[in-house]
């Protein structure tokens, strides 16, 4: 059985994957936030020493760790640029060849909704967060070309048990479908560098996911199952820039709420202190 490291294991996607992939691999879960699990190792990937420690002796890495929405540059720099570099470089030094990197639809979020895009399009990030995902894709390409590492890049849409709004009808992926795609990334022999889209078999997809199908992906779900319910609950109007582009609100705002983000927690703490005075 392969030993697989999942960074960012306490996040939403990490939680789904830890559940779906348990039993298939020997999982090593890691995050800077605590998790009560026997196979958990606490680590801050913005520190190279931690990245070296957690990547030792694994067969593959699913690198989810990092800032997962648009936010202040400092947080994204530490978690997604420095953190990503540390994990890829630590993997190289520890002889781990295979990395599955969940990049994001926000690496290409400024494509308009009337376009269907494939894995060859030029990146069009919709946020600093999206830029950090393009950085991960580029770093992966470098580590394949220069060091022969095997990189499977999944531009994830939105992982959820059900699609939550109209935009997500196009980019939704079910927990079991993302688990299948990640397994292809871990197990499929002969991967050099691939980009696929992390979506289910959605009728309303904005992505041509032929590359994923070529590599054996057979999604089980389609967001259309929930389309009536989702569209009934959709509020009319909305920001016109967000509505025109695939990345939605990421194209129009400077921050997307993320309760787990360290910088926001610090802000909230200092606000609360201020109020007490």
Q: How far is the CB of 42 from ligand 15L (least distance, A)?
A: 22
Active-site residue (options: 25, 111, 129, 197)? 129
Q: How far is the CB of 211 from ligand 15L (least distance, A)?
A: 19
Contact 138, 72 (CB under 8 A): no
Q: How far is the CB of 131 from ligand 15L (least distance, A)?
A: 13
6 vs 69 by CB, closer to ligand 15L:
69
Residue 222: how many CB atoms within 10 A of its CB?
Answer: 20
Contact 64, 77 (CB under 8 A): no
Contact 95, 147 (CB under 8 A): no
**How many CA atoms lie within 13 Å of 70's alpha carbon, on the beta-carbon side?**
20
169 vs 184 by CB, closer to ligand 15L:
169
Give residues in contact with ligand 15L (CB under 6 A): 68-69, 104-106, 158, 168
- From CA 30, how far away is CA 235, in angstroms rounded? 38
Of 57, 41, 43, 44, which is closest to residue 2 (Cα–Cα)? Answer: 57
- From CA 106, how far away is CA 216, in angstroms rounded? 24
- From CA 67, how far away is CA 62, in angstroms rounded? 15
96 vs 206 by CB, closer to ligand 15L:
206
68 vs 144 by CB, closer to ligand 15L:
68
Residues near 204 by beta carbon (within 8 Å), at least 6 away in sequence: 169, 170, 223, 224, 227
Helix, strand, or coil (residue 250) = helix
Tokens of 163: 């699609």
105 vs 223 by CB, closer to ligand 15L:
105
Of 209, 207, 124, which is closest to residue 169 (Cα–Cα)? Answer: 207
- From CA 216, how far away is CA 227, in angstroms rounded? 27
Tokens of 152: 């499977």
Q: Does residue 143 have an active-site annotation?
A: no
125 vs 219 by CB, closer to ligand 15L:
125
Q: How far is the CB of 258 from ligand 15L (least distance, A)?
A: 7
Q: How far is the CB of 203 from ligand 15L (least distance, A)?
A: 18
Q: How far is the CB of 171 from ligand 15L (least distance, A)?
A: 6
Active site (catalytic) residues: 129
């Amino acid at each position: 059985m392969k030993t697989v490291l999942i960074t960012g294991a306490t996040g939403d996607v990490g939680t789904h994957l830890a559940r779906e992939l348990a039993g298939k691999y020997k999982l090593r879960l890691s995050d800077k936030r605590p998790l009560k699990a026997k196979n958990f190792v606490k680590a801050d990937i913005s520190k190279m020493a931690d990245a070296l420690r957690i990547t030792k002796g694994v067969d593959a890495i699913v690198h989810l760790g990092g800032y997962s929405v648009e936010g202040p540059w400092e947080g994204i720099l530490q978690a997604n640029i420095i953190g990503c570099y540390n994990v890829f470089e630590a993997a190289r030094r520890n002889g781990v060849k295979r990395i599955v990197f969940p990049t994001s639809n926000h690496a290409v979020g400024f494509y308009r909704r009337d376009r269907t895009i494939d894995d060859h399009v030029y990146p069009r990030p919709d946020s600093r967060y999206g830029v950090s995902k393009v950085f991960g894709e580029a770093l992966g390409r470098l580590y394949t070309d220069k060091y022969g590492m095997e990189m499977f890049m999944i531009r994830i849409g939105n992982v959820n048990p059900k699609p939550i709004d109209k935009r997500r009808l196009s980019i939704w992926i079910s927990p079991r479908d993302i688990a299948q795609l990640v397994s292809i990334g871990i197990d499929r022999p002969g991967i050099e560098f691939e980009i696929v889209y992390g979506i289910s078999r959605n009728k309303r997809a904005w992505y041509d996911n032929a590359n994923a199908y070529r590599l054996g992906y057979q999604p089980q779900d389609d967001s259309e199952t929930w389309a009536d319910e989702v569209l009934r609950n959709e509020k009319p109007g909305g920001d016109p820039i967000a509505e025109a582009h695939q990345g939605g609100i990421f194209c129009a705002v400077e921050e997307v709420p993320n309760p787990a983000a360290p910088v926001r927690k610090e802000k909230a703490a200092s606000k609360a202190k201020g109020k007490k005075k």
